[in-house]
Chain A
Amino acid sequence: QKEVEQNSGPLSVPEGAIASLNCTYSDRGSQSFFWYRQYSGKSPELIMFIYSNGDKEDGRFTAQLNKASQYVSLLIRDSQPSDSATYLCAVRGSGYSTLTFGKGTMLLVSP
């Protein structure tokens, strides 16, 4: 069974700090990796995706992928209180057309 694991948190960081969110997955053949943000009571929205080993940057967000370790992370630089939300990691496994979501990590950014 495909599994995507995240620490439920909450992860608390002060405003301006770097928040680091982590995710591990069980399917070694997984192809695509996604980070979604979900505000309380709202629907998930895509932040970014990554396919290849290494880093991918988009503004204050950086996704990091290490397929050998089956590990993907999201770094948020200069964290803002508006970044306070639950962050969902999602993985598309080998041979699958759908995503498996982790349970999410709650991030709290204090002013």
Chain B
Amino acid sequence: DADVTQTPRNRITKTGKRIMLECSQTKGHDRMYWYRQDPGLGLRLIYYSFDVKDINKGEISDGYSVSRQAQAKFSLSLESAIPNQTALYFCATSEEETQYFGPGTRLLVL
């Protein structure tokens, strides 16, 4: 079984809809991250959490929110999706310096 899982793997939604992307990990890491990846723009950090009670904004947090439900679970929400949030979303965990990425969620907002 994969150490970092993301659901759903693909999602199509409409402008204005609320959507949640979920991430679970079995690595036992305290630190978790959400990134988005766009062609030509690389990986950009949305939010990160260093433990269950710690939530921090990243480079591009506007339009997103997160919830750290447990050490193993970190969810990303788009409260009102817009087309420019169409991207590939990655969850990651880390132990010290090494980050381990989930398989990604491909999101299309129409």
Residues of A within 8 A of B (CB): 8, 32, 34, 42-46, 49, 88, 92, 97-99, 101-104
A43–B101 touching, CB < 8 Å: yes
**In the complex, the 7 A-B pairs of residues with the closest C-beta atoms, listed nearest first:** A103-B42, A43-B101, A101-B43, A101-B42, A44-B101, A43-B104, A43-B103
How many A-B pairs with Cβ below 8 Å? 39
How many Å lie between the Cα of A34 and that of B103 in the bound state? 20
CB-based nearest A residue for B59? A100
Which interface class (under 10, 10 to 19, 20 to 34, 35 or more) fits B? 10 to 19
How many Å lie between the Cα of A46 and that of B100 in the bound state? 8
Residues of B within 8 A of A (CB): 33, 40-45, 48, 50, 58, 90, 97-104
B40–A103 touching, CB < 8 Å: yes
Q: How far is the CB of A57 from chain B (nearest CB, A)?
A: 18
With contacts A8-B40, A101-B43 taken as known, whether A92 is within 8 angstroms of B104 at the C-beta atoms is no
B102–A88 touching, CB < 8 Å: no
What B residues does A34 contact at CB under 8 A? 97
How many Å lie between the Cα of A71 and that of B72 in the bound state? 36
Q: How far is the CB of A105 from chain B (nearest CB, A)?
A: 11
What A residues does B90 contact at CB under 8 A? 43-44
What A residues does B103 contact at CB under 8 A? 42-43
With contacts A43-B90, A43-B104 taken as known, whether A99 is within 8 angstroms of B40 at the C-beta atoms is no
